[in-house]
Structure 1
């Protein structure tokens, strides 16, 4: 199976009138996989039952949330790492800066080596 993509034309950011437009690939999402779907697939590779696996996945979500909001990096070996990040406005001086300048917190995910290697083998199919 291939990653399907389409083409989209984009203007140059920050250039009045759009500047020179170029064409870029954009992934066409091919559905979603739910926790139930994951649980059923994992059950095939495990001695655990589907409800047990589902429970572990939900518990993992809760634990990841707890650690991220407390500024921890979560390293999950071959799966990858989750990092908390911030987006903020700027202050004129260090002393002037306070938490009201922070616009949002977000999560950065860095895939592990096996996932990066798997994506290197991906094939692509252009869809009109």
Structure 2
């Protein structure tokens, strides 16, 4: 179960408006590649070091494919794709790659993960 907590935030569009209360997910920690390798190795006949090496290789290859502008689809997990934030200009002639201010990775979960999100249970942290 995912714990949530109450936070108070101002309206970013109107800083003079009254603040409102929202719910925010609370993290229980982090799971890294080493931990994932450990978990996978204990659920299969593959050794932990081999799992870790495969996961590192997967990460390296995902990053290489994203750098080349490809969408990386991992069946049953989802798809990764590069997205950008840019400045707006008045005419099409002014558009250039220099308008890109920041890049990020978009993740779109696959059906199985979306279903997990749809059935997620939450509890309010005291």
Q: TM-score if structure 2 supplies the norm length? A: 0.92
| Structure 1 position 16, deviation (Å) | 4.4
Query: Which residues of structure 1 form unaligned runs of 5+?
Result: none
Q: Unpaired runs of 5+ in structure 2?
A: none
Render the CA deviation track for 1:40-81: whole Å, top value 9, x for unaligned.
Answer: 111122221111110110001110111111110011110100
Q: Distance in 2 between matches of 1:61 and 1:16?
A: 41
Equivalent position SS for 2:80: strand
Q: Which stretches of structure 1, 4 residues or longer, exceed 4 Å deviation after superposition?
A: none
Query: What TM-score, normalized to structure 1?
Result: 0.91
With over 3 angstroms needed to count, the CA separation of the structure-2 counterparts of 1:6 and 1:16, relative to structure 1, is closer
Q: Secondary structure at the match of 1:95?
A: helix
For 2:115 and 2:42, how far apart are their aligned partners in 1? 23
Matched with 1:11 is 10
Match of 2:95 in 1: 97
Instruction: Find out whether 1:65 has 2:63 as its counterpart.
Output: yes
Q: Using the alignment, how far apart are the partners of 1:115 and 1:44 within structure 2?
A: 22
Report 1:1-128 matches (<5 A).
2-17=1-16, 19-128=17-126
Count of matched residue pairs: 126
Listed one character per residue, the Cα deviations across residues 16-49 of structure 1 (whole Å, up to 9, x for unaligned) are 41x1432110011101112111011111222211
